[in-house]
Amino acid sequence: MAFTLPDLSYAHDALEPYIDTKTMEIHHGKHHAGYTNNLNNAIAGTDLEGKSIEDIITGMDMNNGAVRNNGGGFFNHSLFWSVMSPNGGGQPSGELADAINTAYGDFDTFKDTFSKAAATRFGSGWAWLCVHSGGKVEVCSSPNQDNPMMPGIGCGGRPILGLDVWEHAYYLNYQNRRPDYVSAFFNVINWDEVSRRFNESK
Ligand code: MN3
């Protein structure tokens, strides 16, 4: 039972002007597809074959570079597409808003903290909002395709919002202006989906 590239729930041009069509086509159709194929090749014939991606990631042998990079790449991008929407933006509400306010005081302080984590991640990686059991939320970042469900990575907990800050995620449209890309991301965040993940994982 091999992993398959998930379809987007919106068109490649739906996140314009914040994320451009060409980037979406290449990012989903080439990069994510590549991680998916390489993950399948890396686990074929091993005892990881048939396990869920969550089980593979939480039980990751961090010395297994092929599974670490491609399993992370498969999971991280699947999360990334789902937490964006052409109808996104604004602010969270309900229990997620309460948890953010408890941790950071207010939404703007959370936004600054998340944006700083994304902007200062050196080289390639991800910025995350994670939820710990009990409902405490925390911002962190991780290098390459690692994520906080892997042993010893980032803030731990379960990622409910992720932002890809690899250059392939923004360079066509933003070139070296990563902070502009990070700022634009807030216009497409699907807070309904982030809240759903928060409620599922808290
Ligand atoms: Mn990417």
SS (H, E, C) the chain: CCCCCCCCCCCCCCCCCCCCHHHHHHHHHHHHHHHHHHHHHHHCCCCCCCCCHHHHHHCCCCCCHHHHHHHHHHHHHHHHHHCECCCCCCCCCHHHHHHHHHHHCCHHHHHHHHHHHHHHCCCCEEEEEEECCCCCEEEEEEECCCCCCCCCCCCCCEEEEEEECCHHHCHHHHCCCHHHHHHHHCCCECHHHHHHHHHHHC
| Residue 96 covered by a domain | yes
- Total tally of structural domains belonging to the chain: 1
| Residue 178 covered by a domain | yes
| Residue 159 covered by a domain | yes
Give the Å distance between the CA of 105 and the centre of ligand 1.
31
Residue 186: the pLDDT is 98
Give the Å distance between the CA of 69 and the centre of ligand 1.
11
Residue 1: the pLDDT is 63
| Residue 1 covered by a domain | no
Report residues of the chain scoring pLDDT below 50: none
Full domain range(s) for residue 97: 20-202
Give the Å distance between the CA of 46 and the centre of ligand 1.
26
pTM: 0.97
| Residue 73 covered by a domain | yes
Residue 75: the pLDDT is 98
Give the Å distance between the CA of 170 and the centre of ligand 1.
9
Give the Å distance between the CA of 108 and the centre of ligand 1.
26
| Residue 15 covered by a domain | no
| Residue 193 covered by a domain | yes
pLDDT digits (tens, 9 = 90+) for 67-102: 999 999 999 999 999 999 999 999 999 999 999 999
Give the Å distance between the CA of 145 and the centre of ligand 1.
8
Give the Å distance between the CA of 98 and the centre of ligand 1.
30
| Residue 12 covered by a domain | no
Give the Å distance between the CA of 121 and the centre of ligand 1.
14
Q: What is the CATH number of the domain that holds 33?
A: 3.55.40.20
